Every structure is written in C-alpha cells, then in structure tokens.
Structure 1
Amino acid sequence: MLLTTNPSLSCPGFYVIRTHPATGTEAGRFGTEILLRGPGSRTLQGGINFGGRASASHANRSVNGFAAFTIANSRNENQVVNLGVTVGAAGRIQLERRSSSQGNTTYVDQQVAAGETSLSVVVPPGFYVLSYAPTSSSSASYAVSALTSYENRSGGGFQGGAVFGGFHDPSRASAGSQSTGFAGICIAEPTNVSVEVLSAPTYGSSGARGMAFSLSRGDGMVFLDSRVGDGQTFSFEPQDPYFFAQWHLFSDGQPIVDFLPAPAQGADLNLAPLWQNCPLSGCQGQGVVVAVVDDGLEIRHPDLIDNVAQDIPHRDVTVASGTPGQDPSPFESDDGHGTSVGGLIAARDNDIGVVGVASRATLIGINLLKGNSSANDAEAMIHAGDVVSVSNNSWGAADGTGFLNPSDQTWQQAIELGISQGLGGRGIVYLWAGGNGHRPPEDGYFSDFSGIDGQANFHGVLAVAAANADDRRSSYSELGPNLLVAGYGGEFCGTDALTMATTDLSTEGWGYNHDEADESDTDFEDRSYTRCFNGTSSAAPTVAGVVALIREANPALTWRDVRWILAFNARQIDPDSANWFTNGAGLTYNWEYGFGVVDAAASVAAARSATGTLPPYLVANSGPGQVGPIGAGSVVEAEVGFSSSSITRAEFVTTNVQIEGDSGFDTGDLILTLTSPAGSTALLTPRRACTEEDEETEERVWIFCEESMDFDFGAVQFLGENPNGTWRLEIDASSSQEAATLKAWSVTIHGHQGN
C-alpha cells in the first residue's frame, strides 16, 4: 500500500514516522515495515522496522523501541557493525544475536549518556536485535540508528540501516493507553516522499488490525496522517535478482536463459493476483510456521535467515531429544536438498537471490534423513506440533523399485496425532512428495506408482505430483489416485528443459551448484543458489508455500479444510491427457495431477471467504467384502456394501486388500481397481515391474515382486462423493501364470456428514 505525503516534503530535515493502533482496534502486538520512495519510485536510504504493543488495560506502560536486522554473507565471516546512538536521556543499549539453535549472545550491553554515542563491534553473521531502554525516572523520547557495513562476496561495499524510536513515560497510567512506536529518518535533500507499507501492520494472530500512520517534521508540521486497516491493500512484486528464473511464481512466457525453451504462459502458481492486491492482513505467509523435514536446513543462509525461527527449537535427530540449541544445518557437502526445499517455501523477499512462495513464513529445520528410524520418523512428524502449521516432506520410499511399500505403524500414529491435536486441534498439514520413479511403462508394467507408497497414500497426508514449465506432467512424476494436487517440479537439469531456481548451500564447494564456473557451466554465478533443483521434492514445497498463504488468510481453518480448498480450486492443465474424468461429486480428477495444479489466488480467496469449517471428521469401515479364488489368467470382481447415515461425503478412502498367492504367483502381475457407488473408478495399482540394480552393470533388472500382499491402498479421488452403496474391487490377473486367493478386503471411509 502506498501512502503519499501531503503536502510534499520540500525541504531537508529530520522526520519522524509514527504508527499506533487506531482507536477501537483489538489489543495485541503490532509491527510494520515501510520503505521510503522518492520521485520516480526511487528508493531512499534504508528500510525501517519498528513496533510496539497495544493494550486496553496495561498500566504504567513504558514503550521501549527495538530494531531487528540481519547480518549475513555467503562466506560466514565476522562483520564490523557500527552503531550510532542518539538519545534524549541516559539509558541502556543492547545488541543481541538471537539463535534458537545456539542460544542468544549479547555483544553490546552498555549504559549511554544523553546525546550521541558511537560504538563498533565485530560480530558473526546472524539475526540481531538492537534495543534501548531509558533509565531516567522522567519522561523522555529517543531515537536510535544503526549502520552495518562489510564487504560482500564480489569485494564491494554494503551498508544497511535500522532506525527506531520510542517514548519512555514511567508515570503513564491511563487505563486505556496505547503504545506508539516511531522511527526517525533523515531526509538529506529536498524531495517528495511517499511511505510504502511493505507488510501488514500486525504481528501474530492477535495483532491489532487497524493502524494509524503519521509523518511529521521536527517543527511539528504533519506531512502524512492516514489510517490503514482491514479492507485496504498494498502491492508487492519481488525484486530479488534471480526471480526472473522462478517461472513457477510468475510465467508470461518470458525466456529464462537463451539455451532453454521459454515456459508456457501461465505455467505458474497464480500468485500475481495476490501480489497486486495484497490485504494488510498479509499475502506472504507471515505468522505461519513451516517445518522442513529433510536432510537439513541451512539456518544461516543469507536468503533464509530472516525467516528462520528464533524462538522455536529446531531438531537434529542425530542428537539426543531435548538437547538445547540444536542446529539442523547440513553437515555433509551433498546435503543441500532441505535447504533448496526451504528456499522454495520461504526464501525472503529481500532483494537478494530468490524469493519463496510464502516469503514471510517462518521456517524450522528438522534434520531427519541422516537418522531415519521408526522412532525418529515419528518424532519428526510431531516436533513442535503446537506451533507447526505445515510440514513439508520431500522424502519417502525408494523410487523406481516397483515394490509395495507399507508405512510404519509408529509413523502412522504420529500423523494421526498431528492432524488431530497439532496446532491447537486444527491439525498440521502434511505435504508429501508423490515420488519420482515413473518411467514409460514397459509392456504395460509400471516402474513405480505413487499409490503403492504407504506414506504418500496415507489418509493424513496431502500427496503432490509434479508439473513442468510446459504445464504438463514432469516425466518422472508418479501417478496414483492418492495424489491431491500438483505443484511445480520442472524437468531434469540440462540444456533442454527448465528446472527450479532456489537456495543452495552457501559453503564453498557444497550443494548442487558447487563446481567452479567454466564455459560449460549453466548454473547461477552466485553458488549460494541453483537453478537445477527438481522433482516432486520441488513440487511439494511449492504447494507447502501456498498452504502457508491459505493458513495466513484464515488461521481458523483445519487441515481438512485446506485439503478441500486445494482440491476445489485447482487448475486443470494438459487437456490432451486421456486420464481426466469427473468423479461422483462433479470434481475433475486425473491420476497424473490429482485435481489439478494448485491455484494460489483462488485457494486464498476461498480461504478468506470461508465462514466456517467442515463438519466433524468421521471414520467408518465397510466390514468384510466378498472373497474367493483368483484363477491364473482370470479377471475377478468382488463387492462390499457400505452404509452410514453419518458419512454422506467422502474425503478419503482406504482399501485394505489381502491376497495369498500359490507358489510362483507374483502380485506385480495384477491390476487392481476400485469403483465407488457413484460409478467412478480408481486405479489402485497397475502391473508393476519390480527391479533391483545389477552390481556389475549398475543397470536395473526385473525381479520377482511379492507372492502375497496385505496392503492399504489410499485414494483421495472420491473426495465429495456419497460413499453409501456398493463398492466393487476388480482384480485383473490376466497376465498371471499362477493362481491366488483373495483372502480379505474392505474399505474404510474418512469423511463427514453434509451436503
């Protein structure tokens, strides 16, 4: 939102910007970020961060200002910080480095006299809070300015400022008093100035919604006096230098690099409508905590550090649970996966590197993949579960083997706990990569299928397929009736298709973009970033970012509401695909894409307009279905009835199938389908080519799959259908040379009562 001064600032001077809760707004913390723009939208020196706290009943209120800023570089070197302090009364100034993994460290703690004081201190990179509190027993106003300076990677200089102020009144005891934060700025030349509100003037879900801004000169002349609040908007457009390569955020068919085809127009998450009309309540994921469960998260990366949680513990499962100050950062050079995932979700919009889908969301790192175990996998699902809103999981069963991969019961119990009790009962939204094991079927046998992954097909997770820059399925993306939606993952990195631009490990020689630049190098010059990330590992975090925007727009929504919104507002792509069909609830579905590519603008609009949540979650089982022999080369059908007056809308269907084969029988020869009472059919599993790697040739060779199965197949494609009636299981054993027996099967319906 742009607020223009009236009259214009026509002479140099020292100006003060104040913000405070407007009359009648709710109590709560508040804060905002502003940017000063001169003629021609030229940015004046420095951005300003400041805030305070509104309270309807807080007596004897002293308003102590503070500023938060980040010192970061890719070399991880110490920096010199110069602080210039100007105060009207003696007080105490502190500079503290905040870190949830390493604890807080104070670098400056000093009493200063009235007037000007200069300080200089050498500090490591990190997130810093500069604070000042007067010690005077009388009222006093003050302003503090800080300037950081250091060399960047290219050897040039960099300077950044932070300015803030406050008002100290120990005798103030008005019952309805509201605190006022202000920032002092110096206009060094005659100019017309506008104040641009960059982010919502709130902090947290209890923040004061309506805010008043004013801009005045030292002689008392007021240049701006404006109220902003609900219903007003501001515009946002990333200025990060590698944003041009992030086609998944905005694609108008623009060429990315000269040696690769341009992305299809509109092959993106449809974020632009949000950026062009962002409400002051936010459109960048502010206040939403996203867990990156992966091989580590570089929490001091220059493009992530401002969004990394400072007061929520991170987790490294190789360290004993409960150990304070855990650091989830990778400790091996090839563990850049999680850092790239984190960048896709929430790289900061800070004029460096790239930008995330939810560029103001809060990240916590859970370094799991160096210590996978039943217990660790489960713990990672519920770590910090009281505050985590979204959990991104770009990992899972091995790709391309063709085997059935049941999920661990301990992990399932953790997911159940997370969706039922996480985030105060609203439930954690678990995003899961759908799998990268698809290859063109050979003689009708699939190399892999998302529906046979017991984690990606579990009812408590949202499985994500991958689309490329042509708005088609990424060649590796697995199919399945468990897929909810598609995000963007690109293709394989090279010179013929686009991949995903994101953060990479900043340590020299680490990560994906680690080789020294040469004539054949096509990756970014700044090796703290890469354009070569891909996979459903990329697609899942793009959807996780959108989920953060949904939960920012409407924090009351449950995880089930989020699933419902994503499905009903997805965008169908690839009209030439023969796999699109309409389910019994009128929703369009495709085993390649789920309900379609996620649409951020439509989903957020739906979240904002939602007036309630889904009815209570209900689960019911059909009871045993028909059983019998499966003859070699035969096709058999079995039925089971489901009747429930409580569940009239399905949200997810789990089908347990138990087959016992004769000697030599291979379940990989079977095709299983499930048809609902409404007449829509889900492919539970195609014929599967089970393979292993030949140690000598390093090629994959076909082997025997399983002689028997006892497996839970999950399907979200029945979303919205009335599940009451007869369900039909078809077993196609026409390619089997041996006989088997269907020992047991049943369906479990997850859903609710409603229209």
Structure 2
Amino acid sequence: MYLPALRLACWILIGLRSTEALETSEREIFALKLDKSWLPTFLETFQDKFRYERQINGLDDYHVFSHSKNEEFQLENFKVKTLLTRDNANLHSELISHNVDEVHMLRPSHYLHKRAPVVMDKSEELREQIAKDFDIDDPLFAKQWHLFNPRYPGHDVNVSQVWYDGITGKGVVTAIVDDGLDMDSKDLKESFCEEGSWDFNANTRLPKPRLRDDHHGTRCAAEIAAKKGNKYCGVGVAYDSKVSGIRILSDKITPEDEALSLIYGLDVNDIYSCSWGPADNGITMQGPSSLVKEAMLKGVQDGRKGKGALYVFASGNGASSGDNCNFDGYTNSIYSITVGAIDIKGLHPPYAEACSAVMTVTYSSGSGEHIHTTDINDKCSDTHGGTSAAAPLAAGLYSLVYQANPDLTWRDIQWLTVLTAVPVNEQEPGWQKTAIGKMYSHKYGYGKIDAYALVNLARSPDFPYLKPQSWIYGTEVHESLNTSEANGVLTSKYELTQEAKDLMNFEKIEHVTVTVDIKAAERGKVLVELISPSGVVSELAPYRRMDKDKEGFPNWTFMSVAHWGEDGLGEWILKITNKEGNSVVLNSWQIKFFGESQDPEKAEKFSLTKKYDEILVNPPSSSTSTTVDTSSTEATFSSSSVSEASATETDVKETSTTGDEDFENEEGSYKHSNSSHITEYLAFLLGLGFLICIIFLFTNRNKLERRQRRNRRDEYEFDLIPADDDFDTEEDQEANSQFTLDSDAELMFEDTSQREASPHEYQDSLGSNEHPKRAAL
C-alpha cells in the first residue's frame, strides 16, 4: 500500500532538478491540468513516455512534465479535431481517460513588452507650441479640432501658418444674420461692431438675444471672432476681425425687412453669414421674394465700395430626409457661396445637403464630435454643429482672405475657392473632372477650404483676377414632351454658338442657371440633369422620396457651379428621368450663363428686370446714345441694335441699356458709335417729353398737394415691377406684384433718438416670412 506513495515521492524528488536540466534542448516541456488525486495513477501509466518535473507553484492542478524531443506526441493538438497517427490518437484517448483537461506547451515563444513611457505625439506638441506662440490660454482651444486636429491630422482648416504670417482678419467685418449676438460676452464684446448691427425683430439697434433659444448667432459669431488669450471658452478662426449682429430669426419677418437685413450696414459689413433658409424637410421648394433678390444684387454691386459684399449660406441639414439645396432659392443663387460640411474625420455627415450649387465644404459636427465655441448666458458650447456651423467658419476664413487682399471682388472670392479647394474622399462615387481640370462633387463641391492655400493665392501677384461679369440668356425652349413610363427619359437641347457669345461679350462660364416649367404627378419622382458639351453632368434635381407635391416645377430656377471655366460652346442637354408610377411633362426651359466678359471695356451692370433674352431673338442693327443731365446725377442711357449675328459678318459694338439711376456712371459702359441723325431725333423727342411733363406737373400741382394731405387711414399701394430674373416662380411673382401698406402701423423704437437710425420709416403689413435656423446637430 505504500508503493504508490513511494513512487510519487521519487518522481517529485527527480523533478527537483536544476533549471538547466529543464532547458535542455533535448526535452519538450509541457504542463497538464490534472486533479492531484489522479496523479499517482497517471505517473504509473505514463512513466515510459513522460518525466514528471514539478507542480506549478500555487496552482494545485497544474503539473509540469517533459518528454524526449525524439518522440512526437502532438500534444499541442490535444482535444483538437485534427488528423492524428493511430498511436497518438490512442495516447490522447488515454490522457482523457486519466482526467487530463488541458495541455500547455511551455516553449519560450511568448514575449512581453515593456509599457514604455508615453511620448507626446508630434501633433500634440505642435498644438501646445501654437498655444504658447499666440498666448492662447482659452480652455476650449484643446477641443477646437477644426483649428488644429491632432486626433486626425490634416482634417482641420490649416490656419496656424496663416496666423504666423500675421493674417488674423484685422479690418474685416462679418455680419451674422441670425437670431442675435451676445455683444456682452467676454469673447465678443471687443469684436462686436455696432455700426453694422440691427435687430429687425425688436426694431432696435442692439441685436441682443432675447429668447431662451437665441444662441445660434452667438455660437456662429464666436467661431469667427472669439477673443484669444482671455481664459474664456475658445478662439475664433479670425480672432482679430469684427462681427456685426443682424437679428431676423426670432420672429416672423416681412419681405422688406428680410431684404434690408441682407444689405444693412453695406458700407461697414464685408461678409454676410447666413445659416438659415426654407425648411429642410425634403418637401419644400422655396426661394426669396423679388425684394430679397434685388437686395442681394445691390449687395454684390455696391458693397465693399463696388467690389461686392460676400454672401455665405449653409447648404442645409435635410439630407437625411432626402432634401437637396437646389430646392432652396437662397443657396442656389449665383450671389451665394454655398457651403456644405465634413466632420472631424473628413467624412460627409448624413445631414449635409448636396446639390450642384455647393461650391465648397468645411468642418462641422459628425463622427461623435461637434464644434466647440462660445454660448450665451456666460457659457461655452460643446454641441454646435450642422452646416450652420460650417458656413460661419467659411465666412471667418474669407475674413482672413480679405485682410490678405482687400482688392478681391465677390466673384474673385468664388474663383479663388474653386482654384484652392482640396478634394476629399475621392474614392467615393460622384466626383467628375471639369473642363478646367478641377474635380467636382455635388457633396463636396470643389473640395474643402484650406486656409493657407486660400490666403497664399489671394496675396500672390500671380492671382488671375476675373474680368467684369457678362451673361447670356438663352432663347426659351418650348417643348411638349411627356412620359409616364418607368425610367422614361425626356431630353431637350440648346446650342450655344460663338456668335451668341460675341454678341453678349461673353468669354467663359462661372454659373449656369436653368429655369424649367415641368409638370409632374409627383415631384419627388423626377430626376433633372444638365449635361454640358464637355460632358460634365449637373444633377439639378434628384429624386426626393418624401416630396409628393403635384405641381412639379413651375418656372423654378436651378443653379450649378460645376461648369466653371467651360467655354460653353456646343449642345447643352436637359435630361429628365421619370420613376415608376409617375407622369411628367416638360413644357419649357431656359438656360442662362453667367461668367467672365471678353472685353472689360464693354461690360455693363446687370439688372434683374431687363429682358436679356430678347437680345438674341432680336439683335439690334444700329446704336444710339443720349446723355441726360439732372440736378443730382448724370446718367447715360444707351440703346443698341445690330443685325442678326447668324446672318451678318458686320462688326457689332454692344451698348448699355440699363437706364437705372442706381447704375449711373458705371465704369465700363459699352463704347459705341452713333448715327448723328438718330441722335438728333432722339434728343428732340426727349426734350419734347420733358416739356410735356413740366406742363403736366404744373397743371396738377394743387391736386398733388391735396393727395399728400390725405387722412392717415387711407391706404397706399405700391406696384412692384415683376422681375424677369433667375429666381421667381409664377407664385412668387404674383405674391410680390402688389403690396398694401397700413399707414397706421407703428414702429417699436426704444427711444426717439433711434428713429433716424432705423433701416425703414414705418412698420408695414407686407406679410411675413419665417426661416428655420440651420439647427445644430
């Protein structure tokens, strides 16, 4: 009975040998999980095969054995379903019968590595160096990845080198057209520009946030001009620039006030940042009124001392609802830079709307991150986002550009953006090479804004400044095409000729607009595309799954920047594709080209009311000019006529025909020669008409005076001339053709001293507009 115990003791003594013996190259070391009650029996059974070495200290059921390397027992395959020799299969069965649960080969093959001391990433070091060099002690700066991104290097606006070059936005003012601006904030009180500010909701000068959710404008303003080095919240991308506040989003607003908001402080404000528009619901198709369009035109023509104010609009946050920014008449205006969004990783966030009007993208929320900025009520915000955060960030970057080169026009800024934008995610479908060799995507425009590239080219002596603007209104194409087939396609063509370009002093394209009259049983089941002669495709209207509207596209205008730089010669194809269960009818369409002129000396000022399409239909054959002197202005009115371009080889000299006193003395009016007889006749007729007007005014003087003294309760009617422009639908023109003003309406002035500074003289009853903010996501 003592024999098994004796044998076990012998085995254990044998196992107490030196480490050298265990490490011999002749033995294979392994461990078995074996209940110690089975150990004596196991040792007796396997003494010819295995040698017992020892128990693993502290682990009662684990025992170390070895065997000669000349023997191949395939122990590493224990309990693994694999092919074994018959002998080894029997051995494995015996191990299992002796309650062996596990086999562990103890070869020295597992290496552990030291946890080395943490070495700070170069990107983190660089961010700390930037903070040190610019005395940035603002607590949010470490979170402001859009300024410097150590987590995903390269995915930021690349602004630090611009700061090192001394470009910080000094001398530039951006108007935040939004829900107000907290001018008492520690981050904004020094950058606030009162001269460019007005509250159109409360009708007072200071656009102070008054409602609980009036935080949108403050957050946007701080993205641009938050003070650095004050130990408060974050830093603005153009921290030495100024911001005005124009408050319009906190209540309903009239078309008059909306128009005024976009030109308020036009002699002070350089940029207007607009993070709002029609509802982002995938259903709405809405544009601005004629008043607003005229205001934006005035902004680009008269702002910045004739170089043009810059309008920056957020593309919209309705992509997850199938929305598209070409159904928004603000973002698809040729006068807007439409800005989409990318996130901290450079990815396209699901909310950001795409369309052929998107020119560029910059950073905003997504992939679990947001824009970190200043908030109202003495707080900071970690939840700002959406394209409404991308637009003011872009506006801030353009502030840097204007400091670097204040001579750039609004069109030069757009051209600069096209030239310097950096394509992102080029592996995604949808990118196409344009006629000028740039890549374009409806999601990303020409790519993301790179601050250093933008500023560097802007201040370069080699920057290719654009010549004055010119345009061609193509002849309206009337069709009667229809289909109710699934995937049925309707196509119509328009050919742009060199004769038409020469007639209109047109060289190359910047913007293309297409106004369509399309009927559809369900608007969302219609795809509209424009294909240029060079093969570039603009998706004007994608399918919108939620859009069940039955009116189609009644005189709706789309816009595209995808054809920038094309000469435009050749056939332009409008392609309409129908979906199953729908019917569509193309009644008419008209294409318009806006771009660079051939001869700057022949440039004229654009008017929304002039019917430029008639010039191609009925080109004049001679030109006349008359100069009219008035007491306050000297305006040149010109009319031109040339023989039809396709039927003559006569050189044609074009003439200005605006006749608007706002456009008087415009440098670059058409040069022209006159027939002396026609000039004399026209002068005689003009003089005769002037004499008749004087007689009429004198004889009706008493009548006019009586009308001026009418009771205040009488109503006044103002007829607006319907504009033949690029935005109006028939409904817009009808709604804005006549407005009735209530003479009893009162202004809400805080004190009488503000009356003189008010942007309008009375509160009217023109109706109201309400624009959703591009909400933070």
Q: How does the TM-score come out when normalised to structure 1?
A: 0.59
The reply to whether residue 295 of structure 1 matches residue 295 of structure 2 is no
Q: Relative to 1, partners in 2 of residues 1:447 and 1:660: Cα closer, same or farther, differing over 3 Å?
A: same
Q: How far apart in 2 are the matches of 1:250 and 1:458?
A: 32
- Which consecutive unaligned segments of at least 5 residues does structure 2 have? 1-129, 600-777
1:637 aligned onto 2:491: yes
Amino acid at match of 1:270: N
* Residues 679, 707 of structure 1: alpha-carbon distance in 2 compared, 3 angstrom cutoff: closer
CA distance in 2, matches of 1:667, 1:548: 40
The residue aligned with 1:499 is: 370
Look up the match of 2:424. 573
Q: Counterpart amino acid of 1:451?
A: N
Alignment partner of 2:161 out of 273, 276, 285: 273
TM alignment of 1:643-662, pairs within 5 A = 643=497, 644-645=501-502, 646-661=505-520
**1:288–1:548 contact (8 Å) kept in structure 2:** yes
Equivalent position of 1:419 in the other structure: 300
> What does residue 317 of structure 2 align with?
436
Which is richer in helix? 2
Q: 1:708 to 1:308 in 2, by over 3 A?
A: closer
CA distance in 1, matches of 2:437, 2:478: 29
Please tell me whether the aligned partners of residues 193 and 242 of structure 2 are also in contact (alpha carbons under 8 angstroms): yes
1:681 to 509, 533, 537: 537
Q: How does 1:135-214 map to 2 (within 5 A)?
A: none
Equivalent pair of 1:636/1:731 in contact (CA under 8 Å): yes
Q: Percent identity?
A: 30
Q: SS where residue 615 of structure 1 aligns? A: coil
Could you tell me whether the CA contact under 8 Å between 1:291 and 1:391 is conserved in 2? yes
Q: Is the Cα–Cα contact under 8 Å of residues 300 and 308 in structure 2 kept in the other structure? A: yes
Q: Secondary structure at the match of 1:290?
A: strand
TM-score (norm: length of structure 2)? 0.57
How many aligned residue pairs are there? 459
Q: Provide the C-alpha distance between the structure 1 equivalents of 2:350 and 2:145, rounded to a whole number of angstroms.
A: 18
Shift of 1:717: 1.2
What's the counterpart of residue 213 of structure 2?
334
Runs of 4+ in structure 1 deviating by more than 4 angstroms, as ranges, are none
1:464-475 equivalences under 5 Å are 464-475=339-350
**What SS does the aligned partner of 2:218 have?**
helix
Deviations 1:52-110 (A, max 9, x none): xxxxxxxxxxxxxxxxxxxxxxxxxxxxxxxxxxxxxxxxxxxxxxxxxxxxxxxxxxx
- Give the SS at the match of 2:249: coil
2:471 is matched with 619
- Find out whether 1:242 has 2:149 as its counterpart: no
Instruction: Tell me the distance in 2 between the aligned counterparts of 1:306 and 1:447.
Output: 42
Secondary structure (helix, strand or coil) at the match of 2:590 reads: strand
Residues 179-225 of structure 1: CA deviation (Å, up to 9, x unaligned): xxxxxxxxxxxxxxxxxxx9xxxxxxxxxxxxxxxxxxxxxxxxxxx
2:454 aligned with 1:603: yes
CA distance in 1, matches of 2:396, 2:145: 15
Whether contact under 8 Å (2:135, 2:229) holds in the other structure is no
Letter in 2 for 1:355: V
Letter in 2 for 1:499: H
> For the Cα contact (< 8 Å) 1:403–1:690, is it kept in 2?
no
Q: How many Å apart are 1:252 and its aligned residue?
A: 2.2
Structure 1 residues 534 and 416, CA gap change in structure 2 (3 angstroms): same
- Taking the aligned partners of 1:569 and 1:383, their CA distance within structure 2 comes to 30
Question: SS at 2:222's partner residue?
Answer: helix
Q: Measure, in 2, the Cα distance between the counterparts of 1:458 and 1:610.
A: 30
**Aligned-partner residue type, residue 365 of structure 1:** G
Please state how far the C-alpha of 1:243 moved relative to its aligned partner: 0.5
Deviation at 1:706, TM superposition (A): 3.1
| 2:577 counterpart (708, 712, 732) | 732
* Residue 671 (1) aligns with residue 534 (2): no
Structure 2 matches for 1:235-384, cutoff 5 A? 236=134, 238-253=136-151, 264-276=152-164, 278=165, 282-310=166-194, 312-320=195-203, 326-351=205-230, 352-370=232-250, 371-384=252-265
User: Per-residue displacement from partner, 1:502-561 (whole Å, max 9, x unpaired)?
Assistant: 110025xxxxxxxxxxxxxxxxxxxx1111100000000110011000001000110111
Residues 1:537 and 1:635: Cα distance change in structure 2 (over 3 Å) = same
Aligned-residue offset at 1:498: 0.6
Aligned equivalents of 2:346, 2:246: Cα separation in 1: 32
Q: Spell out, residue by residue over 1:259-299, the C-alpha distance to the aligned partner (whole angstroms, 9 max, x if none).
A: xxxxx2211001122133x1xxx411000010000011111
Q: Distance in 2 between the 1:399 and 1:610 partners? A: 42
Alignment counterpart, residue 489 of structure 1, candidates 364, 377, 380: 364
1:714 aligns with 2:714: no
* Alpha-carbon shift at residue 575 of structure 1 (Å): 2.6
Q: Deviations over 1:694-719 (max 9, x none)?
A: xxxxxxxxx44534532000111111
Q: Give 1 or 2: higher strand fraction.
A: 1
Residue from 405, 408, 411 that aligns with 1:557: 408
Could you say what secondary structure the match of 1:412 adopts? helix
| Distance change >3 Å, CA 237–CA 549, structure 1 → 2 | farther
Q: What CA RMSD, in Å, does the superposition of the two structures yield over aligned residues?
A: 2.0
Of 337, 345, 348, 1:462 maps to 337
What is the letter of the counterpart of residue 489 of structure 2? Answer: V
TM-superposed CA distance for 1:737, in Å, is 2.9
Give the deviation of 1:567 after TM superposition.
Answer: 1.4
Q: Distance between the aligned counterparts of 2:142 and 2:555, measured in 1?
A: 49
Contact map agreement 1:638 1:728 (CA 8 A) in 2: yes
| Aligned twin of 1:397 | 278
Distance 1:704 1:422 in 2: 38
Equivalence for 2:116: none
Distance in 2 between the 1:677 and 1:749 partners? 14
The CA deviation at 1:601 is 0.2
Alpha-carbon contact 1:584-1:718 (below 8 Å) kept = yes
Q: CA deviation at 1:577?
A: 1.3
What per-residue deviation string (whole Å, max 9, x for no partner) do you get for residues 379-416 of structure 1? Answer: 11100111211110011111123332233221111111
Structure 2 residue corresponding to 1:542, chosen from 393, 415, 430: 393
How much has 1:754 moved relative to structure 2? 6.0
Runs of 5+ consecutive residues of structure 1 not aligned to the other structure: 1-197, 199-233, 254-263, 440-445, 508-527, 692-702
Matched, 1:723 2:563: no
Q: Is the Cα contact below 8 Å between 2:201 and 2:253 reproduced in 1? A: no
Give the letter aligned to residue 622 of structure 1: G
Secondary structure at 1:382 match in 2: coil
Corresponding residue of 2:618: none
Change (3 A) 1:707 1:271: closer
Q: 1:305 & 1:735 partners in 2: Cα distance?
A: 58
Give 1:732's aligned amino acid: T
Alignment partner, residue 720 of structure 2:
none
